Every structure is written in C-alpha cells, then in structure tokens.
Structure 1
Amino acid sequence: MRKKILGAALLLAGAAWAGGASAQGVPISVLAGNCVGCHGIDGVSAGPATPSIAGMSRVYFVNAMLSYKYGKDKAKIEAAARSLKIDPDDVEGHERLATVMDRMAKGYSDEEIGLLADYFVGKRHVSAIQPFDAALAAKGKRVHDDACEKCHENGGRKGDGSGMLAGQWMPYLKHAITDFNGGHRDMPKKMRAKMKELNDKDFEALVNFYASQK
C-alpha cells in the first residue's frame, strides 16, 4: 500500500514538473492561480480597472514584476534579469506605484517570476468587449501612428519591451495615463518626451483607438 501511495506521489510530482514548476516544486498552475483574482483566468481581465496580461511581452512582464519587487534597486533588477536570460539593458528598472502588486511580487522568487512570464506569454490575448467612439478611434489611430507605434507595434498589440495596449479596458488605460502624467509612475525618457507633446483630447482618442483593436 505504501509503495502504491509513493508511486502516485511521484507521478503527481512528475506531472507538476512537466507542466512547469519552481525549484521549490510549486506547479506553475498554483503560481499563476494567485494572479487570477485580479487579472482573470489565463490572464484575460474581466475587471475594467485591471489589465489583461495574456500574450504580453516576456521582457515587459519580467520588467514590471522586478520593478514591483525591487523598486529602484537597479543592481538587483539587473542581476535578476541576467538570471532569467534577459539583457539588463532591456530592463528599465522604474519604480512602480505601490499597490497590492509590490507585495505580491515580493512573494515570488526571481525564478518563479520567469516561470510566470513564460506561462502568460503563451496565453492568447483576448480584447475586452466594450463600447468606443469610432470617430475618436480614427483620430487615435493617427495619434498612435505618429507618437506610439515605434515602441507599441502593430497598433499597440505588442512591443518586445513595451506593454500591450490594444484591447485593454478603457478605465485601466485612463488610470495608467493619469498615473504617468501625474508623475506617479516612471517612464522611459523617449516616452516622456512623446507624452508631453499630447493633450487630453489626444489621450482620449488613443484610449478609444486601443479599445477598438481586436
């Protein structure tokens, strides 16, 4: 009987590792389960104030999590990036506005952050179903093409080190823009320069454009 129990335990452990697990043996499904409450099943957000993280850039995901975890400690962020096979030059290391996320990130090892990144990168992004203003969306496309496309490629769908904007909830996008403009969230110099060129009407148009993207 004891042999049967041991055999079953080994089979379960093997299944966990096959699906991805941390050095402590925590299956990726358990690690990712902590994210579901806010970011939705498979990283597809059902809450308008929370971004979807399914299908986002691995570099961006890791950058965000390390920034939440280590704040402005660039040395620790760069060391963690190297351990996850990410070029430290691709990790901005900007401190993020303190939320529940900084406490969550501190609970993960660097290795587990890498596993989470791989997990959510492999999930399919699903755009939020929400109303938008078509005329504003058309204007927003022009603003995006001029100011944002270089980093947020393919209409905001993906950029290697940039966040996914297409199909995100409008309230989340508005909150993010407010945080950037209010100095509550750091941003790269090139983004700061572009943001200064835009006004409130441009931002409203951008939000409608991203909401229109499927």
Structure 2
Amino acid sequence: MEKMKNNDTLHKSARHVLLVMLAVLPAAVSAGPSGQAMAFTCAGCHGTDGSSVGPSMPAIAGMDPEVFVDAMKAYRQDERNSSIMNRIAKAYTDEQLKEMGWFFASQRLQLFPQQYDATLAARGAELHEEYCEKCHENGGRPGDAGTLAGQWMPYLHYTMEDFLDGNRKWPRKMKRKVDAAIEEAGDDAIPALVNFYGSQR
C-alpha cells in the first residue's frame, strides 16, 4: 500500500514537471536566436567580434548600440549607400537589431597597425581638435557618435566620399564642420583627418 502511494506521488511530481516544461517551451522557442548568434552572420565582413580585418569594412566592436541600430535601420530603409547592407538589414526586426547592437557594444575593439603619413596625421590632429572633437570625443574613440579612431583608412576615405558626393545623409552639424575644415586646410583636410584617425591605436 505504501509502495502504491509512493508511486502515485512520483507520477504526480513527474506530471507537474512535464506541465511546467510544456508551459516554458513555447517561450523558449519563440525567444529566437541570441544577439551573439545573429552577429555570426556579420563575421565574414566585420570579424567574429566586430573588429574588422578588411580595410574597406568598418570595425563595429564597442560601437554604441543606438548608433548600430540607427545605421542598420538606415540601410533597411535604403537611406544609406551600400553594396549589400541594405539587403542584409531587411532580414532583421527592430528587436533583433537591438540584441545585435548590445552584443557588439560588449566586444573589445581590436585595432590593427596601418601605414599613415605622419605629417598629414599631425595636421589631422589639429583639425580634429578644432572641428570634430566636440562630437567625436577622445580623438574619435567609440562613443555615441560612432568610432573613428583606429578605423581602416580606406573605409574612412570611401565614407567621406559618400558624404561629399551626396550618397549619404549628413548627421546634424557635421556638414558645417567638414566645410569649415576644408575651408581652412583645402584639399588636405580629408586626407589629414583620415590619416589622423588611422594613426590611432
């Protein structure tokens, strides 16, 4: 009799555990892949942790998550010039973009040495201090205005060409600041800034 009672108790406990698992399972399934798992799709161009090893691809490790989400939304809405990013961005929901943004924000940016012109870099440091430091603090290191310091120089060059050619929308105040830098330094302004940011480690 005691044995039957124990068996009955075991069956009830097992049934309760099964009911809890069945209740939790749909939530676990609907949660979908993590930000880290989704970020693996970016590894081919931006590196496994967001530190790009391709000179025409930006590093996105340590990027402010809001900057990441805003950029991806701009690609998704075809508001930003791109070869393939606009198609890639359309595959993600707003919530998924936020999760990916937080993953990349948590990664440590790895910088790689680049060849740069020391004279231009020194001029770029002066121009940065005068026109760019207010938004791109600490020499352009990761922050809520994006990452400039240590970015690949070809990427920075192509990006500035997009702004100047009208293929990319200027952020607030940026055009006025860039125009002022060009007025002061002429054709050397953009190369100087690019060499300065590329010299940062």
1:153-176 C-alpha deviation (Å, 9 max, x unpaired): 11000331x120000111001001
1:88 aligns to what?
none
After TM superposition, give the deviation of residue 150 of structure 1 in Å: 0.8
Task: Give 1:189 shift.
Answer: 3.9
Shift of 1:98: 3.6
The 1-side partners of 2:93 and 2:34 are apart by 14
C-alpha distance in structure 1 between counterparts of 2:77 and 2:192, whole Å: 34
> Contact (CA 8 Å) 1:166, 1:213: kept in 2 or not?
yes
**1:42 alignment counterpart:** 49
Cα 1:32–1:135, aligned 2, differ >3 Å: closer, same or farther?
A: same
Q: Identify the residue that residue 10 of structure 2 maps to in structure 1.
A: none
Report whether the alignment pairs 1:184 with 2:171. Answer: no
Q: Distance in 2 between matches of 1:171 and 1:65?
A: 21
User: Distance between the aligned counterparts of 2:143 and 2:179, measured in 1?
Assistant: 21
Q: Does 1:113 align with 2:100?
A: no
Runs of 4+ that moved beyond 2 A: 27-30
Normalised by the size of structure 2, how large is the TM-score? 0.80
Identify which of 119, 141, 147 aligns with 1:135: 119
TM-score by length of 1: 0.76
Alignment correspondent of 2:35: 28
* Equivalent residues of 1:127, 1:166 under 8 A apart: no
Q: Which residue is 2:3 aligned to?
A: none
Most deviating of 191-200 and 40-49: 191-200
Given that 1:56 and 1:121 are in contact with CA atoms closer than 8 Å, whether structure 2 keeps it comes out as yes
In structure 2, stretches of 5+ residues that fail to align are 1-17
**Comparing 199-208 and 143-152, the one that deviates more:** 199-208
Match of 2:197 in 1: 210
Which residue, 135, 143, 163 being the options, matches 2:146? 163
Aligned residue in 1 for 2:14: none
- 1:131 offset after TM fit, Å? 1.1
Secondary structure of residue in 2 paired with 1:207: helix
| Structure 1: gaps of 5 or more residues | 1-6, 72-94
After superposition, the CA RMSD in angstroms is 2.2
Q: Shift in Å at residue 23 of structure 1?
A: 4.6
Give the percent of matched residue pairs that are identical in Structure 1 and Structure 2: 46
